[in-house]
Amino acid sequence: MAVIPSALPASGVAEEVVADRFPVDTSAVRAGDSALEVDSNRFARMRGIDLLGRDAPMLRWQRERAEHGVWPYFRSFRTSLRPHAVAVTEDGRITEGLNFGCQDYLSLSTHPRVHEAAGKALRDFGPIAAGALGLNGGNPLGTELAEGLATMLGFEHGLLFPTGWAAGYGTIQSMISKYDHVVLDKLAHNSLRHGAAAGTRNVSYFEHLDNDSLRAKLREIRGGDAKNAILVVTEGIFSMDSDAADLRELIGICREFDAVVMVDVAHDFGATGPDGLGQLGAQGVLGEVDLVVGAFSKSFATTGGFLVTRSASVFEHVRLYGGPQTFSSALTPVQLAVALEALRIIRSAEGERRRVSVRRMAERIREGLAGRGLYCMGNVVCPVIPVLIGSTPTARLAWRLVGEHGLITNLAEPPAVASNQARFRLQAMADHTTEDAGRVVDILDTAIRSAQEAIAGRDV
């Protein structure tokens, strides 16, 4: 029998009630193929002469999903990003309760020092950079931030980007010529894929975390091209699966074939690993990777991204020829101040306490869900906890149920993940409590079982 929280009263503390199952709106179950089963990939590349009207089938599908409460996108928070928050869908469905749906791993977005730094930057420099980095968009806060990131990661040069997506895309796009090769992990982030495609047609993939597959791919490339560069791209932690590569072995393989190694540390840097150094620190390969890109949107309480490198020429080339760097306005003074103050906290004893807290939270949730027979994916413990459901219809219905019963979290469904690999992606925060961990386990367990039984009844 599951214990679940009701909607939060004014005190912000959930009252506990007991439920074996959550009631299921049968209209959502009867919605059938379109709302519960069809994925967005069907509508991604529509054809026809009517460019403005040919997406009508997609619109009908989206509206049907929203009507039945199984449209999980474009929801917004109406409160600060605290462990208990309020989120609202576009059509006004409110979820008030546990917040496991935002990327504020260290809970720094509500930290008083971060707020104070943001206010001071606004007073001192104003709200906007008013130019690209190369055209008067720079700021002394940005210089300090870039240098601090490079120093922490053991590099000489740091470069800032308007977003984390821009950092991955812009670095690869600018460095790679049409004759070069980019080899990516099969599950590499969208920004990395697009950056590779913008730079060269010689783009290939190796099986996820499979270093033997990487070696075979590099051997094949070098067998036909001994003159041009190869860039191998992986991530510190892959957030959809909460797993990590054997980086030391990967680096060794790349050295065999004169390939350069780039690691995207968006999800692990700052929030995990010794001194916040993520998998680079945990696996003892700090300083052995050639290029590192990352994002501020997970652990640094703001948006933006970065590249660090030991090559002065790479640094200069990317900042001159990287599209997002050259043709986008620079990070605002407020963003820079927030990220800089977050970096100071991350490198302090308080940062270590916050990393320990979020790790313990993730461990409690994993243990609790495993005790209920639910499977948490991954080979590393980090703030992201993917809870595998499998069936897309079940996952969509369960997402509606958790929202109705006080849990804000995200649904990952095809094509973002493989068919029959739908999952919840919980995102733990340092300020979550032991009680929060127990409640999220209860809600998920009850919602998933209720959805499974409703879908099974539909299929009888």
Domain holding 378: CATH number? 3.90.1150.10
Q: Identify the CATH number of the domain in which residue 158 sits.
A: 3.40.640.10
Contact 176, 231 (CB under 8 A): yes
Strands 203-206 and 181-185: parallel
CA 228/CA 258 separation, integer angstroms: 10
Average pLDDT over the chain, rounded to whole?
92
> Does 325 share its domain with 454?
no
Predicted confidence (pLDDT) at residue 7 exceeds the cutoff of 50 = no
> Does 382 share its domain with 399?
yes
Domain-terminating residue out of 289, 313, 346? 346
Give me the mean pLDDT over the 204-232 stretch: 97
Q: Is residue 206 part of a domain?
A: yes
Domain-terminating residue out of 346, 378, 405? 346
Which burial class, exposed, middle or buried, applies to 432 when counting CB atoms under 10 A from its CB (0-12, 13-18, 19+)? buried
**pLDDT tens for each residue of 297-338:** 999 999 999 999 999 999 999 999 988 888 899 999 999 999
> Does 163 share its domain with 224?
yes
Only one residue has tokens 């969509």, namely 396
Give 453's Cβ-side CA count (13 Å radius). Answer: 12
Q: Is residue 29 part of a domain?
A: yes
> Does 305 share its domain with 454?
no
List phi, psi (to 5°) of 384. -90, 125
> Does 119 share its domain with 152?
yes
CA 203/CA 168 separation, integer angstroms: 15
**pLDDT tens for each residue of 426-442:** 999 999 999 999 999 99
For every residue of 117-152, DSSP letters joined together read HHHHHHHHH-S---S-TTTT---HHHHHHHHHHHHH
User: Any idea which of 14-23, 145-154, 285-294 has the lowest mean pLDDT?
Assistant: 14-23
> Does 356 share its domain with 331?
no
Residue 116: give the domain boundaries: 112-346
> Does 73 share its domain with 168?
no
Q: Is residue 47 part of a domain?
A: no
For every residue of 212-251, DSSP letters joined together read HHHHHHHHHHHHH-SSS-EEEEEESSBTTTTB---HHHHH
pLDDT at position 318 is 95
Only one residue has tokens 């072995």, namely 249
pLDDT at position 23 is 83
> Does 268 share its domain with 123?
yes
Helices 333-346 & 140-153, crossing angle to 10 degrees? 30
**pLDDT tens for each residue of 44-87:** 888 999 999 999 999 999 999 999 999 999 999 999 999 999 99
Q: Is residue 55 part of a domain?
A: no
Predicted confidence (pLDDT) at residue 9 exceeds the cutoff of 60 = no
Q: Is residue 127 part of a domain?
A: yes
Q: Which helix (H) or strand (E) element contains residue 27? A: helix 26-30
Predicted confidence (pLDDT) at residue 5 exceeds the cutoff of 50 = no
Give me the mean pLDDT over the 202-229 stretch: 97
In Å, how far are 268, 274, 330, 351 from 284, measured between CA atoms? Answer: 14, 10, 33, 20
CA 389/CA 183 separation, integer angstroms: 30
Q: Is residue 49 part of a domain?
A: no
pLDDT at position 31 is 65
Q: How many residues does the chain have?
A: 460
Helices 333-346 & 349-371, crossing angle to 10 degrees? 80
Domain-terminating residue out of 287, 317, 346? 346
> Does 286 share its domain with 368?
no
Contact 279, 264 (CB under 8 A): no
Q: Give me the number of domains the chain comprises.
A: 2
Structural tokens at position 272 = 């995990």
- pTM beyond 0.85: yes
Predicted confidence (pLDDT) at residue 93 exceeds the cutoff of 90 = yes
Structural tokens at position 3 = 């214990």
> Does 365 share its domain with 323?
no
> Does 134 share its domain with 197?
yes
Helices (H), 50-90: 56-67
> Does 303 share its domain with 324?
yes
Q: Is residue 158 part of a domain?
A: yes
Q: How many CB atoms lie within 10 A of CB 431?
A: 21
